Chain A
Amino acid sequence: MDVKKQVIAIIAEQAVLEPSDVSMESTLEDLGIDSLGLVESIFAIEEAFDISIPFNANEPEKSDFDISSVATIIAGIEQLVNA
């Protein structure tokens, strides 16, 4: 499975949605994922890809890891996976 499909599956599970309901433009807020859901998603992604995502809930904007949409999250993970 490619990174995109796997990440969408993780996010969909967190949002209790079908993967087909998660679009690349969606924000986590659109999908109803709150701050706890976000850290849980990040944990699941780290476990799935065996990577470490630099993310501090106190300063999300300062992180190199952009969580503003599903597309930016996938791009960030692809970078980390390929690093």
Chain B
Amino acid sequence: MKRVVITGAGTINALGHDVPQTLAAMREGKCGIGELSLRDVDRLAVKIGAQVRGFEPDKIFNRQQLALYDRFTQFALVAAREALAQSGLEFSGELSAKTGVVLGNSGGGMQTLDENYRTVYEDGKNRVHPFVVPKLMNNAAASHISMEFNLKGPSFTVASACASSNHAMAQAFQMVRHAMSPVMITGGAESMLCFGGVKAWEGLRVMSKDACRPFSATRNGMVQGEGAGVFVFEEYEHAKARGAEILAEVIGFAMTSDAADIVMPSRQGASRAISGALADARINREEVGYINAHGTGTAANDKTECSAVADVFGPHADKLMISSTKSMHGHLIGGTGAVELLACIMALRDGVIAPTIGYEEADPECEMDVVPNQAREAQVDVALSNAFAFGGLNAVMALRRV
């Protein structure tokens, strides 16, 4: 088996248009959640979200590109450009033939769907733009990254709701680990903050109308975000040989299914995924210093997640730090694990633990060190990133400081 390291990272989300801005915001405990600015917001019951602001796609992409890129594809390309630039890799010959793109995404081109449903249902038109299908298909982002960077290896999109990005990164990790490819581009993107996207979520009655406060006794639901995170996963010797900067090492992962309920999470499914990741990475639980929680801020997730962590870590659960950065960048659904991996990289490389902001009051069912409200300096050797999706699909990644 090969060792797998991360040699490039890119993002755009409500906290920043790149990795340095995002990490600075996480360090400062900034909140990216605010009043939604979108068409027909007055007809929504939930009027907040973590939108990407100040994004001017027409300054980044040309007219032909814009005709083909839904907002989630735009986010994915912006993040990929940053990650690939940092890695310093150029793709030709054998490397180009073997490198692919595995992205997580849940909703596909929701903005495109929303706009074109309006056109045919609300405006009563009988004609839509010819590119609706290639724009909304949820592999569009992975495909456009492959085209822009000449990546001719295995590329596809993984859809497992809130665990999509972690499942995608687990696939890319496997491919590099088992020498199928020396390099894989991976992560996730999502853009569901449109009228139909928010309206659909309202129906479940799990959304907060004021803030995302994971683990706090005063939590009252999740808040949606949008954006992308993209990483370059590279075989260790390949990276070392070219003198690449290594951000962190990916050392293991595990995936489990609850096989229980379509929306309610299971403590057992979550704890099996966490302990599976430790086993896959061949580490003792005492080595884990930080967990980036799934931490959605719902009643159901947070208490289930905390009890799963307590199950797996025993007495060490009281020593490790666990924070939910969704309190700042919202829940990016299919893109969330990718943006959250940045908090793990910051913990390992910079020794800064991103906080859980909005934390007001301890909840006896979530009694852990959730790094409330303020970032903390700490040396961490191993970090985990949790993702527990609707449908009972769980995926946990393990990373190590290099």
Q: How far is the CA of A55 from the CA of B203 in the complex (A)?
A: 11
- Contacts of A39-70 to chain B: CB distance below 8 A: 39, 42-43, 52, 55-59, 62
Distance (whole angstroms) from the CB of B392 to the closest CB of chain A = 13
From A39, which residue of chain B is reached at the shortest CB distance? B205
Q: How far is the CA of A69 from the CA of B263 in the complex (A)?
A: 24
Q: How far is the CA of A52 from the CA of B205 in the complex (A)?
A: 12
**Contact indicator A56/B204 (Cβ below 8 Å):** no
**Contact indicator B206/A57 (Cβ below 8 Å):** yes
Interface residues on B, range: 10 to 19
Residues of B within 8 A of A57 (CB): 204-206, 221, 298-300
From B299, which residue of chain A is reached at the shortest CB distance? A58
Residues of A within 8 A of B297 (CB): 58
Q: How far is the CA of A42 from the CA of B205 in the complex (A)?
A: 10
Distance (whole angstroms) from the CB of B302 to the closest CB of chain A = 10
For B208, give its contact among A35, A55, A58 (CB under 8 Å).
Answer: A58
Q: How far is the CA of A56 from the CA of B208 in the complex (A)?
A: 8
Residues of B within 8 A of A55 (CB): 205
Residues of A within 8 A of B378 (CB): none
**Given A35-B263, A58-B299, 16 other A-B residues pairs in contact with their CB atoms under 8 A:** A35-B264, A35-B300, A39-B204, A39-B205, A43-B203, A55-B205, A56-B205, A56-B208, A56-B209, A56-B220, A57-B205, A57-B206, A57-B298, A57-B300, A58-B206, A58-B298
Q: Is A1 an interface residue (CB 8 A)?
A: no
Residues of A within 8 A of B298 (CB): 57-58
A-B contact pairs, 27 of them (CB 8 A): A35-B263, A35-B264, A35-B300, A36-B262, A39-B203, A39-B205, A42-B205, A43-B203, A55-B205, A56-B205, A56-B208, A56-B209, A56-B220, A57-B204, A57-B206, A57-B298, A57-B299, A58-B206, A58-B208, A58-B219, A58-B221, A58-B297, A58-B298, A58-B300, A59-B220, A59-B299, A62-B220
From B301, which residue of chain A is reached at the shortest CB distance? A58
Residues of B within 8 A of A59 (CB): 220, 299
**Which of B205, B208, B300 neighbours the largest number of chain A CB atoms within 10 Å of its CB?**
B205
- Contacts of B39-59 to chain A: CB distance below 8 A: 45
Q: Which residues of B contact A (CB under 8 A)?
A: 45, 203-209, 219-221, 262-264, 297-300
From B262, which residue of chain A is reached at the shortest CB distance? A36
Q: How far is the CA of A36 from the CA of B208 in the complex (A)?
A: 18
Q: Is the interface of B mostly helix, strand, loop or mixed?
A: loop
Q: How far is the CA of A62 from the CA of B204 in the complex (A)?
A: 17
From B221, which residue of chain A is reached at the shortest CB distance? A58
Distance (whole angstroms) from the CB of B263 to the closest CB of chain A = 6
Interface residues on A, range: 10 to 19
Residues of B within 8 A of A43 (CB): 203
Q: How far is the CA of A42 from the CA of B263 in the complex (A)?
A: 17
Distance (whole angstroms) from the CB of A22 to the closest CB of chain B = 22
Residues of A within 8 A of B45 (CB): 52
Distance (whole angstroms) from the CB of B312 to the closest CB of chain A = 25
Distance (whole angstroms) from the CB of B221 to the closest CB of chain A = 5
**Contact indicator A36/B205 (Cβ below 8 Å):** no
Q: How far is the CA of A62 from the CA of B220 in the complex (A)?
A: 10
**Contact indicator A58/B220 (Cβ below 8 Å):** yes
Residues of B within 8 A of A42 (CB): 205
Distance (whole angstroms) from the CB of B216 to the closest CB of chain A = 11
Q: How far is the CA of A36 from the CA of B391 in the complex (A)?
A: 13
Q: How far is the CA of A53 from the CA of B4 in the complex (A)?
A: 51
Distance (whole angstroms) from the CB of A15 to the closest CB of chain B = 18
From A60, which residue of chain B is reached at the shortest CB distance? B299
Q: How far is the CA of A8 from the CA of B203 in the complex (A)?
A: 22
Q: How far is the CA of A35 from the CA of B204 in the complex (A)?
A: 10
Distance (whole angstroms) from the CB of A41 to the closest CB of chain B = 11
Distance (whole angstroms) from the CB of A4 to the closest CB of chain B = 24
**Which of A39, A43, A58, A59 neighbours the largest number of chain B CB atoms within 10 Å of its CB?**
A58
Distance (whole angstroms) from the CB of B266 to the closest CB of chain A = 14
Q: How far is the CA of A59 from the CA of B218 in the complex (A)?
A: 9
Distance (whole angstroms) from the CB of B327 to the closest CB of chain A = 15
Distance (whole angstroms) from the CB of B309 to the closest CB of chain A = 20
